[in-house]
């Protein structure tokens, strides 16, 4: 009986892990050219919307000491910045075409995205 319980709970747990980590929906933020992102256990907000062709100011503040989040990368825009702890770092980006631009930490484990419209 206990084996059945373990198997059923494990299947349930696997389903939960899938839903919890991979089934989340990104909430889109309102379009802005001055965006503040807090970096702690991920990015807040994770999804930002920017206008095409206009310079956009992204200000990142890392409050999480884990060195995983020390680097901030937007590979498609060839931007990489080191984020010192508790020090705001500003990146000015101008996106020239519509689409989604993923940003992530140096080891590609925490993700966010910029939607350009």
Partner 1 sequence: MAKSPLASCSLNISGMHCASCAMTIGKVLHHTPGVISADVNYATEKAQIKFDPRQITLAKISQIISGLGYSTKSDDKARQTNILLVKFILSAIFSAISFFGPPPLFQLVLATIVQFWIAWDFYVTTFNSLKHRAANMDTLIVLGTTVAYVYSTAVTFGLVPGDPYFDTSMTIISLIILGKWLEARAKGKTSEAIKRLIQLQPKTARVIRDGQEIDLPISEVVVGDQIRLRPGEKVPVDGKVLSGETSIDESMITGESIPVYKHTGDPVIGGTLNTSGAILMRATQVGSATMLSQIIKLVEQAQASRAPIQKLADVISSYFVPAVLMIAVATFAGWYVATGYLPAMLNSIAVLIIACPCALGLATPTALVVGTGLAAQKGILIKDAENLEIAYKVSHVVFDKTGTLTEGKPIVTDIVGGSKVLQLAASLDANSEHPLAAAIVSAATKAALKLSPVTSFKNLAGRGVEGTISKIKYTLGTPSLFPKVSSDVSRLEKQGKTVVVLATAGKILGTIAIADTLRPSAAEAISQLHRQKISTSLITGDNPTTAAAIAKIAGIDRFFAQVRPEDKAVSVRQLQSEGQTVAMVGDGINDAPALSAANIGIAMATGTDVAIEAAGITLVNKDLRTIAQALKLSRATLRTIKTNLFWAFIYNVVLIPAAAFGLLNPILAAGAMAFSSVSVVGNSLLLKRVRLT
Q: Under the rule (CB under 8 A), what is the footprint of partner 1?
A: 3, 6-7, 10-11, 13-14, 17-18, 20-22, 24, 40-44, 46, 64-68, 73-76, 78-80, 84-85, 106-111
Spatial neighbors of 104 by CB under 8 A, at least 6 apart, are 73, 75, 110, 111, 112
Element containing residue 48 per DSSP (H, E): strand 47-50
Nearer to partner 1, 10 or 117 (CB): 10
Token pair 């709970």 is at which residue? 9
Task: Show the beta-strand stretches assigned E in 52-96.
Answer: 55-62, 71-74, 79-82, 89-94
The smaller minimum CB distance to partner 1, of residues 100 and 117, is found at 100
Kindly report the length of the chain.
117
Smallest separation, CB 36 to partner 1 (Å)? 16
Minimal distance, residue 35 CB to partner 1, in Å = 17
Measured from the CB atom, the residue of 65 and 117 that comes closer to partner 1 is 65
- CB 50 to partner 1: min, Å: 18
Residue whose pair of structure tokens reads 């807040």 in the numeric block: 44
Q: Decide whether 99 or 117 has the Cβ nearer to partner 1.
A: 99
């Amino acid at each position: 009986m206990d084996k059945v319980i373990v198997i059923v709970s494990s299947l349930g747990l696997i389903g939960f892990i899938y839903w919890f980590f991979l089934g989340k929906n990104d909430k889109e933020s309102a379009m802005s050219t001055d965006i503040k992102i807090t970096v702690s256990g991920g990015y807040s907000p994770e999804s930002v919307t920017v206008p095409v062709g206009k310079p956009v100011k992204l200000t990142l503040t890392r409050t999480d000491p884990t060195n995983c989040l020390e680097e901030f990368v937007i590979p498609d825009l060839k931007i990489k910045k080191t984020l010192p702890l508790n020090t705001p770092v500003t990146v000015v980006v101008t996106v020239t075409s519509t689409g989604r631009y993923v940003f992530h930490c140096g080891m590609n484990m925490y993700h966010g995205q910029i939607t350009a419209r």
